Amino acid sequence: MELILSTSPAELTLDPAHQPEKTPAPNLTELTLEPVHCRPELLDACADLINEQWPRSRTSRLHSLGQSSDAFPLCLMLLSPRPTPEAAPVVVGHARLSRVLDQPQSLLVETVVVARAMRGHGFGRRLMEGLEVFARARGFRRLHLSTHDQLHFYAHLGYQLGKPVQGLVFTSRQLPATFLSAFSRNPSPQPPCKASNLIAQVAPRGPQGPTLPPPPPLPELLTTSPLPPAGPLSQSLMETQYQDLRGCPIFWMEKDI
Ligand SMILES: CC(C)(COP(=O)(O)OP(=O)(O)OC[C@H]1O[C@@H](n2cnc3c(N)ncnc32)[C@H](O)[C@@H]1OP(=O)(O)O)[C@@H](O)C(=O)NCCC(=O)NCCS
């Protein structure tokens, strides 16, 4: 594995080929949120960041990140500005957004992670608030997620306990082009991957905000499939009845944005 962890909490050192050796904690106000597929030169650094938390083969991780697109799933990176003019921006955090079965105005948030050496400095909040702005600007109104052990972090950021949802993950190799075309429209008034639109500013928004078009509808094929039955299960911040595929307790949470 290519990871080398720094001994200093103020430094993040990943693969030296992709990250600077010494990275001072970036200024919160300088951070930007950008889709992975718009910054392919940072794919390796992003894979390292995620693998630092959830080790997996680099090939598999890069493949997963390589599926990011404006049509979802979409991987976002929290970036700090380049420390020197020659250096690449530092990948501070990552989150993946997917469409949700039967809920056209929802997104499922997964693989939320901040670089280990940079935790506890507000970057997780900035990542989550940034992706809320990003999702809302594209017409989505609700975020869903599941967590084993970070429910208090998410509750602190306004997430409430919710029901399980089914994220939609597919590639063009699995579905016909006509089917995918329903997802390929950009629901926001902004064109994708233009420099001026890449940066999700984490600015406070008013209570109403501008009126934005809703996201494109989900294809009928998907909206007719029933969700896995939630049953009479219940959960509290102390206890959950839900389990992941391995049988581990899992908390489902959601937030209106
Ligand atoms: C969870 C994680 C993303 C949080 O990132 P972070 O940068 O450490 O969090 P922040 O410093 O931005 O914390 C934001 C706020 O949440 C609070 N907070 C952070 N972790 C918390 C926790 N476990 N419980 C309660 N509050 C928490 C902080 O006190 C802070 O509050 P404030 O903004 O009011 O001062 C990070 O710890 C991480 O990457 N963990 C490993 C991967 C992981 O578990 N991801 C979640 C998968 S579901």
Q: Tens digits of per-residue pLDDT, 203-240?
A: 334 445 556 677 877 755 443 333 455 555 677 777 88
DSSP type of residue 17: T
Checking DSSP bridges between strand 251-256 and strand 160-161, what pairing results, if any? antiparallel
pLDDT at 214: 78
Domains of the chain: 25-169+237-256 (3.40.630.30)
pLDDT digits (tens, 9 = 90+) for 61-102: 999 999 999 999 999 999 998 878 888 899 999 999 999 999
pLDDT at 211: 61
Q: Whose CA is nearest to atom 46 of ligand 1?
A: 112
**CA 226 – ligand 1 centroid, Å:** 33
Res 198 pLDDT > 80: no
* Section 108-130 average pLDDT: 97
pLDDT digits (tens, 9 = 90+) for 162-197: 999 999 986 444 455 455 444 444 444 444 554 333
123 within ligand 1 shell (Cβ under 6 A): yes
53 within ligand 1 shell (Cβ under 6 A): yes
Beta strands of 24-100 (E only): which ranges?
32-35, 74-80, 90-100
Structure tokens at 136: 């809302």
